[in-house]
Amino acid sequence: MKNICKLTSYNPIICLLLAAFLIYGCGKDETPEVVVVPTEVKVEEKVEVKSVAKLPNLGTDAEDYYNFGIDAIKEGNFTLAVQAWEKAVKINPKLVKVYNYLGRAYYTQGMIDSAIVAYKKAAELDPANPQSYINLGIAYRYDEEYEAAINELNKAIELNPLSALAYDEIGMALIKLEKNDDAIAAFENAIAIDAEFPQPHNNLGVIYLMQGKPKDADNHFKKFEELLKAKDAKQAKIMGGAPH
């Protein structure tokens, strides 16, 4: 094999040039690449510590804590309201109205198990009030306990056969149980009781859409929008705004 790099003779001048090339390079000033590793500088940010409002000592009257909770809710302070109402029922475990408010506060914060316990207590203390069973039924439905929801809502209907809301809630639970024909009957009952109630029309539209009946679905969706606009206009008028 030939060595193509082998020189047959050594010229002194060439040797000097070759040495200079090896030492100094090809004449360009090349700056060696320097890899800079960034150093992470931790800057301590000032964290604003918000003071958490504490429940004041209002004495031993449960009503005072109940009213304090109402005021706290108006200010959007759910935590303080719950603390006040929990204190109220600790003082007076039979103060039924507090359990309904507690249930609503728990439900709003996604604490469904606690909401169910509170609503159960309300129904136990006030078994003649259909709203307690409606609240409990809604909580059960949200918790995907559909049979339990229907059971409580039927109790509400036994006490108040003209509860459109109870029928509507039963219909929604029946949809989840894939009992669409029974759900349709429940929604139609709700509409027959309250012709201005928008929600059953929306729910019927959903069922008819699933059943491949687009025309029926569209009719109910349009009715839902129509009733919803009328409801909003009515509410605006009550609140002093211009209807639209």
What does the DSSP assignment read for 171-202?
A: HHHHHHTT-HHHHHHHHHHHHHH-TT--HHHH
Q: How far is CA 7 from CA 4, 11, 190, 241, in A?
A: 8, 10, 106, 102
CATH of domain 62-195: 1.25.40.10
Q: How far is CA 144 from the centre of its chain?
A: 16
Dihedral sign for Cα atoms in the order 23, 26, 29, 33? negative
Contact predicate 174/186, CB 8 Å: yes
Q: Could you tell me the residue ranges of all domains in the chain? A: 62-195
Contacts of residue 43, Cβ cutoff 8 Å, sequence gap at least 6? none
Per-residue pLDDT of the chain (244 residues; tens, 9 = 90+): 433 343 334 444 443 443 333 334 444 443 333 333 344 444 444 444 344 578 888 888 999 999 999 999 898 888 899 999 999 999 999 999 999 999 999 998 899 999 999 999 999 999 999 999 999 999 999 999 999 999 999 999 999 999 999 999 999 999 999 999 999 999 999 999 999 999 999 999 999 999 999 999 999 999 999 999 998 887 776 666 554 4
**Residue appearing with tokens 């940010």:** 45
Q: In angstroms, rounded to a whole number, what is the distance separating the alpha carbons of residues 137 and 158?
A: 14
Q: Two tokens at 158?
A: 């036994």
**Does the pTM of the predicted model rise above 0.95?**
no
211: phi then psi, degrees, rounded to nearest 5:
-85, 0
